[in-house]
Amino acid sequence: MTNYNDDEKTDFHRILVGVDDSEDALLAFNYAIRRAKISDAELVIVSVLESDEMSVYQALNKDYVHGERKELEQHILKYQKQAQDAGVKKVRSIVAEGNPGEAIVKDVIPHVEPDLLIVGSYSKKGLARHFGSQAAYMAKYSPISVLVIR
């Protein structure tokens, strides 16, 4: 059995934070900025383009999906600038597609390889709010530590 000291367990080098403009996501984002500065960690900001919010016509229309994705990519750059302006040295942002919890756990985490995921507890978007919490899904299935901010 490997013994770790407390610093090794909580020494985060890359922090992933999910944003969706909900109040809790904004709280999570602000906490992630503080945590990244304290740890001198890279901050990776992710937002998910939810296909379940599109009509069948929109989902099949590549121009529409491309336009929605472009708009989200532009929007997430505002978060990136805010983190940089707050003093986070290493910041990047990405856009994923699909169900937020699944996309973050199955696609984003393996690609980004963060040490910590920070999310808000409530998502104002998508049908998922009727079937259970995205934060609960991520906390249950994430292969890394998850901090849920309320």
Per-residue confidence at 11, pLDDT binned at 50, 70, 90?
A: confident
Q: Which residues contact 88 (CB under 8 A, 6 or more apart)?
A: 33, 36, 37, 43
Structure tokens at 34: 């503080």
pLDDT for 39 equals: 94
Residue 144 DSSP SS3: coil
Q: What is the 3-state secondary structure (H, E, C) of 26-77?
A: HHHHHHHHHHHHHHCCEEEEEEEECHHHCCHHHHHCHHHHHHHHHHHHHHHH
Give the domains, in start order, of the chain with CATH numbers.
6-149 (3.40.50.620)
pLDDT for 57 equals: 47
Is the separation of the CB atoms in 100 and 133 below 8 Å? no
pTM of the model: 0.82
Q: Across residues 120-127, what is the average pLDDT?
A: 62
The string of pLDDT tens digits covering residues 85-106 is 999 999 999 999 888 999 999 9
What does the mean pLDDT of the chain come to?
83
Amino acid letter at 47?
S
Q: What are phi and psi of 118, to 5 degrees?
A: -115, 125
